[in-house]
Amino acid sequence: MNILRTEHLKKTFPEATSGQDSCVLDDINISIEQGETYGIIGRSGAGKSTLVRCINFLERPTGGEVYFEGKAMSALPKAGLYKTRQSMGMIFQQFNLLEQRTALKNVRYPMEIAGWSKKDADARAEELLELVNMGDKKKSYPSQLSGGQRQRVAIARAIALNPKVLLCDEATSALDPETTKGVLDLLNEINRKYGITIVIITHEMSVIEYICDRVAILDDSRVVEEGPVLSILKNPQSETGKSFVKPEFRRIRG
Amino acid sequence: MDNFISFFEHVNENTLPMLWEGTLATIYITFLSSLLAYVAGLPLGVLLVVTSKVGVHPIVWLNKLLGFIVNILRSVPFLILLIAVLPLTRAIIGTTIGTKATVVPLFIASFPFVARLVEASLIEVNEGVIEAAWSMGSTPFQIIYKVLIPEALPSLINGAAIAVTTILSYSAMSGIVGGGGLGDIAIRYGYHRYETDIMFLTVIELVVIVQIIQAIGERWAKGSDKRLKLVAGRGLFGLGRAPWAGE
Ligand SMILES: Nc1ncnc2c1ncn2[C@@H]1O[C@H](COP(=O)(O)OP(=O)(O)O)[C@@H](O)[C@H]1O
Ligand SMILES: [Mg+2]
């Protein structure tokens, strides 16, 4: 069963200068299976962030539809959309932690907005920080943590409400190779342990190779190739796919 | 030495009590006006940010309207406003002179200023953090009180120090139309009676008060800012934490 599916997804932005709309996503049809780790790769400006932001409707698509657990996202009223986002965690390249909150209180945030009691929220937040190996840093502020540590806190926060899906937008792009590996291992563990479907957005083939089951290659607003990672690595069909498979695009190795 | 003593020829046993009373009146006026200015200016500033085209709840016509009103009030010179609102002051307070009467023009002049200060602070909040809050399913209201305001707190405190010191200097100006406090003393003695020494003392006092407020504001803001590694966790007199942040 697919948990996420886009159908003829389209996104255009009005262009201030030319007056003509620029098309950032054009007829995107992808289907992500429950429990898999799905990669979306593309060069800078290909539309990856826009695509992932359309999936949880941070950005409203111009056309087409996104289905989450078979339900059309565009049909959701605002309150339903907010509720649905609690089932879709998201992490970012720049971590985006609340800078005036400690690690513990960052992780507590989703529970707070979901109306948990302080006691339950604190207990769950501590448990999550242990899970991501940050138990000893719960009183630290983001400014006192390294990039890898911040991303671990962000991951704990994103999975706090047991989401069905975790969206990762260039989650390791600001990290060095060793730290990247650690974060990817953690994502892998979360995927195995809790069955959370993971969507990985990246511009690095090595990340896809390391963790993903299937991948879609995005180029110039379109999906140019899609399939199991192993077969695309072995036999890429598109020009973009071929260029990504070249060794100089690899940064980390298992 | 003779010159120095003769400069203070008007200083006598009544001077100190008078200055003390003026100081109390000035502090009273300043803090009451500041409080009222924030009661109106803080929500207004929040609305200016929230309803903007790129805000968490865009309502463009309301944003334009509020911005327009704020700009109009901000563009009236305080001295003119002071005189223009005299009828309103009389209607509300019953008189146009004295300590209480001063609060009306001060409030009207300062809440739009406070709104702009608040707006400037909130606009600085990292867009990525707001995006993360959306992605977790926050409502716009939750983003305002759990993200925008707490994340902007150090900057809001800095802004408050600026607001209070500005309101203090405005309050001194209101001495011209018979408002109470140090400004009133400065104008009565220094301007009407040429007792320069008394005026000089009030000015010194005003300078000292401004310095104190500014210093407290800066320390508090710094102490509450967890982005600064060295001071993370501290606050001035424990005041650094947002009251609603708990623990
Ligand atoms: N809010 C926006 N308004 C206008 N153009 C945008 C906006 N967001 C993204 N774009 C444009 O869309 C294109 C794709 O951006 P993005 O999705 O961020 O790419 P990627 O994440 O693959 O680097 C870029 O050309 C970018 O300038
Ligand atoms: Mg991007």
Tell which residue, A39, A30, A36, A41, has the closest CA to residue A8. A30
Q: At what angle do helices A177-194 and A147-158 cross, to 10 degrees?
A: 20
Distance B112 CA to ligand 2 centre (A): 38
**B65 is a domain residue:** yes
CB B168 within 8 A of CB B30: yes
What would the two tokens of residue A1 be? 């069963």
> pLDDT above 70 covers what percent of chain B?
92
For B211, the domain range is 2-131+139-217
Q: Tell me what the mean pLDDT of segment B89-102 comes to.
A: 88
Residues in Cβ contact with B107 at an 8 Å cutoff, skipping those fewer than 6 apart: B33, B36, B37, B40
Residues A210-252 pLDDT 10s: 999 999 999 999 999 999 999 999 999 999 999 998 866 555 5
Q: How far is CA A196 from the centre of its chain?
A: 12
Mean pLDDT of the region B92-116: 92
In a domain, B143, yes or no: yes
Atom of ligand 1 minimally distant from the CA of A43: 22
pLDDT of the residue at A5? 97
Average pLDDT of every residue of chain A: 95
Question: Is the confidence at residue B233, as pLDDT, over 50?
Answer: no
Q: CB-CB: which of B137, B225, B228 is closest to A85? A: B137
| pLDDT tier for residue B230 given thresholds of 50, 70 and 90 | low
CB-CB neighbors (< 8 A) of B157 in chain A: none
**DSSP letter assigned to residue B94:** S
**Is A97 touching B (CB cutoff 8 A)?**
yes
The angle, 0 to 180 degrees and rounded to 10, between the axes of the packed helices B196-224 and B15-50 is 40
Is the pLDDT reported for residue B245 higher than 60? no
| C-alpha pair distances (Å), B45 with each of A163, A188, B70, B161, B241 | 35, 44, 10, 16, 21
B121-B123-B126-B131 Cα dihedral, nearest 10 degrees:
140
Residue A249 pLDDT: 54
Q: How far is B52 from chain A (nearest CA, A)?
A: 17
Query: Cα–Cα distances in Å, from A62 out to A24, A43, A73, B58, B69?
Result: 10, 22, 13, 19, 35
For chain B, the domain total comes to 1
Asked if pLDDT for residue B100 goes beyond 90, the answer is: no
Closest residue (by CA) to atom 8 of ligand 1? A50
Residue A241's identity, in one-letter code, is: G
Determine, yes or no, domain membership for B236.
no
What pLDDT does residue A15 have? 84
Structure tokens at B232: 């993370």
Q: Mean pLDDT throughout B78-102? A: 90
pLDDT of B244 > 50? The answer is: no
H or E element at residue B217 = helix B196-224
CB-based pocket (< 6 A), ligand 1: A 13, 24, 42, 44-50
Neighbours of B57 (CB within 10 A): 15
Q: Is A102 helix (H, G, I), strand (E, B) or coil?
A: coil
Q: Does B129 sit within 8 Å of A98, measured CB to CB?
A: yes
Compute φ and ψ for A215, nearest 5 degrees.
-145, 145
Distance CA A186, CA A181 (A): 9
Considering every ligand atom shown, identify the ligand nearest to the alpha carbon of residue A16 and give its number: 1
Range of lowest pLDDT (A93-102, A104-113, A127-136, B222-231): B222-231
pLDDT tens track for A156-171 = 999 999 999 999 999 9
| pLDDT tens profile A59-85 | 999 999 999 999 999 999 999 999 999
Least confident of B91-100, B141-150, B209-218: B91-100
Give me the amino acid identity at A225. Answer: E
* B236 pLDDT more than 60: no
- Provide φ and ψ at A140, rounded to 5°: -80, 150
Residues of chain A found within 8 Å of residue B146, distances taken between Cβ atoms: 109, 112-113
Beta strand A165-169 with A88-92 is parallel
- Per-chain mean pLDDT for chain B: 89
CA B158 to CA B51: how far, in whole Å? 24
Closest CA of chain A from B117, distance in Å: 20
Give, using CA atoms, the residue closest to atom 9 of ligand 1: A50
Tokens 């502020």, residue located: A141
- Side-chain-side CA neighbours of A149 within 13 Å: the count stands at 16
Contacts 24+ apart (CB under 8 A), B208-215: B209/B23, B209/B26, B209/B27, B209/B168, B210/B165, B210/B168, B210/B169, B213/B161, B213/B164, B213/B165, B213/B168, B214/B161, B214/B165
Specify if B82 maps to a domain: yes
CB < 8 Å to B226, chain A: 99-102, 141-143
Q: Give domain status of residue B241, yes or no.
A: no
DSSP H/E element including A27:
strand A21-28
Question: What are B167's two structure tokens?
Answer: 């309101």
Q: At what angle do helices A147-158 and A118-131 cross, to 10 degrees?
A: 130
Instruction: Kindly report the CATH number assigned to the domain that includes residue B61.
Output: 1.10.3720.10
Answer whether residue B239 is part of any domain: no
Give the pair of three-digit tokens for residue A223.
């999906």
Q: Using the beta-carbon criterion (under 8 Å), do A85 and B136 form an inter-chain contact? A: yes
Task: Tell me how close the Cα of B214 comes to any Cα of chain A, in angstroms.
Answer: 23
Chain B, 140 to 179: residues with Cβ < 8 Å from chain A are 142, 146-147, 150-151, 153-154
Q: What is the maximum span of chain A, computed from C-alpha positions, in angstroms?
A: 55
Residue B231 in any domain: the answer is: no
Residue that has been written with the tokens 């056309």 in this structure: A63
CB–CB contact A96 B128 (8 Å) = yes
Paired tokens of B131: 């995006």
Name the residue of A50, A54, A59, A224 to mutate for ligand 1: max ligand atoms within 8 A of Cβ.
Answer: A50
Beta bridge partner(s), residue A65: A7
**Which of A168, A165, A175 has the alpha carbon at shortest distance from A195?**
A165
A99 contact B CB<8A: yes
Give the number of other Cβ atoms within 10 Å of residue B234's Cβ: 15
SS3 assignment, position B128: helix
Q: Which of A49, A52, A68, A100 to probe the B interface (max B CBs under 10 A)? A: A100
Predicted confidence band at B1 (pLDDT cuts at 50, 70, 90)?
low
Q: Is A135 helix (H, G, I), strand (E, B) or coil?
A: helix
- The 10s digit of each residue's pLDDT in B150-205 is 999 999 999 999 999 999 999 988 887 878 888 889 888 888 888 888 889 999 99
Nearest CA in chain B to A96: B129
Q: Which residues of B touch A114 (CB under 8 A)?
A: 137
Query: Is B75 within the bounds of a domain?
Result: yes
Least confident of A192-196, B10-14, B125-129: B10-14
Q: Are A103 and A81 in contact (CB under 8 A)?
A: no
